[in-house]
């Protein structure tokens, strides 16, 4: 059912300039003309405006700006990412649902996305403010065929993808190691990655992305106002979350393929291009130590490279950093 709808969208998209007959659609999709008609009604419910002319066929005259599985797949040129999309108008957390789906066998590249999260979360179960239609709240399910100890690199990969997409919108994003995205020192996007893995094999990875798109300043709660921002605040323009989601997904698939074939090395330079506070001194905390160190950059595997006051250099995989 889902794949027929997807196929239908592809056919309509290829024929955007002309009418395509019900008969042709029926033949190509191996469904009855009545079934074609039913699918069209479903698309209309999603907000598509369909022009149906007797003896000519169907043509889509306008696509809706309402987010749905259909509108997200319309124009999404990917091979495997987003072939299966679960869209919910409202959900507690896309991450929680995505983990459940992953645990029950959802395929590599499945996406869970919502207009609104009522209990969106960041790391350590911190809440993520995610109001209706103001941003992109989604989780990607991946099953990478790499060793679990390499998986953290994918979290840096996601950050470079988002930073690159955002730079197309007249803003200057920076990546705070490992993967928060800041514009003018305020957070515009956060990434939470959770994984289930065995010793030598990843069962699944769920990457949660929260991206503030169209909030205006007064929409953030008081405690977030000093630290959060949106693309609209920073770029001065209202942006289409659907288009933005598609750009992120297409870029992600492309970069991910490169990473799988060539390793993190090909991404390191790109990450550094957006690196936040490179060469600056920060306060670092781990379970046993607190100290000041200068951020030198990242290691070939994505770990943070710190230079201490005594000249020694160390590699951090996990630390709390006061920026």
Partner 1 sequence: MLKIEEIHELIKRIDESSIDELTFETNETKLSLKKHKGEVVTSHAVPTQVTAPAPATAVVDQSNQTSSGEQAGTEQPTVANYDHEIVSPMVGTFYSSPSPDKDPFVQSGDKVKADTVVCIVEAMKLFNEIEAEVNGEIVEILVENGELVEYGQPLFRVKNV
- Position among 127, 133, 318, 323 found at the interface with partner 1 (CB under 8 A): 318
Among the listed residues 214, 252, 251, 209, the one whose alpha carbon sits nearest the alpha carbon of residue 231? 214
Cα 133 from Cα 80, distance rounded (Å): 26
Subset of residues 218 to 247 that bind partner 1, contact rule: CB under 8 A: none
Residue 303 touches partner 1, criterion: CB under 8 A: yes
Q: Which is nearer to partner 1, 69 or 153 (CB)?
A: 153
Could you write out the DSSP letters of every residue in 203-219? EEEEEEEEEE-S--GGG
Task: Please name every residue paired with 189 in a beta bridge, in sequence order, or none if there are none.
Answer: 181, 211
| Residues 197, 189 contacting (CB under 8 angstroms) | no
Residue 149 touches partner 1, criterion: CB under 8 A: yes
- Position among 104, 145, 198, 311 found at the interface with partner 1 (CB under 8 A): 198
Q: Give the interface segment with partner 1, choosing from 44-52, 199-207, 239-247, 265-273 (CB under 8 A).
A: 199-207
What is the 3-class SS of 261-278, one letter each residue?
HHCCHHHHHHHHHHECCC
Residue 156 touches partner 1, criterion: CB under 8 A: yes
Q: How far is the CB of 290 from partner 1 (least distance, A)?
A: 13
Q: Give the interface segment with partner 1, choosing from 73-81, 123-131, 229-237, 267-275 (CB under 8 A).
A: 123-131
Residue 178 touches partner 1, criterion: CB under 8 A: yes
Could you write out the DSSP letters of every residue in 115-177? EEESS-B-GGG-B----TTTEEEEEEEE---S-GGGTHHHHHHHHHHHHHHHGGGT--EEEET
Could you write out the DSSP letters of every residue in 78-130? -SSTTSSEEEEEEES-HHHHHHHHHHTTPPTT-EEEEEEESS-B-GGG-B---
Q: Which is nearer to partner 1, 8 or 140 (CB)?
A: 140
- Position among 102, 163, 195, 248 found at the interface with partner 1 (CB under 8 A): 195
Q: How far is the CB of 318 from partner 1 (least distance, A)?
A: 4
> How many other C-beta atoms are found inside a 10 Å radius of the C-beta of residue 148?
17
Residue 153 touches partner 1, criterion: CB under 8 A: yes
Residue 125 touches partner 1, criterion: CB under 8 A: yes
Q: How far is the CB of 179 from partner 1 (least distance, A)?
A: 6
Question: Which two tokens mark 315?
Answer: 């590699």
Cα 52 from Cα 20, distance rounded (Å): 9
Say whether 247 counts as a known binding-site residue. Answer: no
Q: Which is nearer to partner 1, 67 or 140 (CB)?
A: 140
Tell me which residues touch partner 1 (CB under 8 A): 123-126, 148-149, 151-156, 177-179, 191-200, 205, 286-288, 302-303, 317-318
> Which residues does the annotation place in the binding site?
117, 121-123, 187
| Residues in binding site for biotin | 117, 121-123, 187
């Amino acid at each position: 059912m889902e794949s027929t709808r997807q196929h239908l969208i592809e056919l309509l998209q290829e024929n955007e300039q002309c009418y395509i007959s019900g008969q042709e659609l029926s033949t190509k999709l191996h469904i009855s003309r009545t079934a074609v008609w039913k699918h069209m009604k479903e698309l209309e419910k999603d907000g598509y405006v369909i022009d149906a002319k007797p003896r000519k066929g169907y043509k889509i005259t306008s696509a809706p700006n309402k987010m749905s599985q259909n509108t997200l797949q319309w124009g999404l040129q990917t091979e495997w990412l987003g072939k299966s999309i679960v869209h919910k108008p409202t959900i507690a957390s896309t991450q929680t649902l995505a983990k459940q789906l992953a645990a029950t066998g959802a395929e590599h590249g499945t996406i869970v996305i919502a207009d609104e999260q009522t209990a969106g979360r960041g790391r350590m179960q911190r809440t993520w403010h995610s109001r209706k239609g103001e941003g992109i709240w989604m989780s990607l399910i991946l099953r990478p065929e790499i060793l679990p100890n390499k998986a953290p690199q994918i979290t840096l990969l996601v950050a470079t993808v988002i930073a690159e997409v955002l730079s197309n919108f007249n803003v200057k994003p920076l990546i705070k190691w490992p993967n928060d995205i800041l514009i003018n020192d305020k957070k515009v996007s956060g990434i939470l990655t959770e994984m289930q893995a065995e010793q030598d094999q990843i069962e699944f990875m769920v990457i949660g992305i929260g991206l503030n798109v169209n909030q205006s300043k007064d929409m953030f709660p008081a405690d977030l106002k000093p630290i959060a921002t949106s693309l609209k605040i920073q770029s001065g323009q209202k942006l289409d979350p659907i288009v933005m989601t598609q750009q992120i997904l297409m870029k992600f698939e492309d970069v991910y393929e490169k990473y799988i074939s060539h390793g993190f090395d090909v991404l390191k330079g790109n990450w550094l291009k957006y690196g936040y506070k490179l060469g600056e001194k920060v306060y670092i905390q781990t379970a046993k130590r607190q100290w000041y160190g200068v951020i030198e950059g990242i290691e070939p595997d994505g770990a943070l490279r710190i230079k201490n006051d005594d000249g020694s250099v160390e590699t951090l995989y996990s630390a709390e950093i006061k920026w």
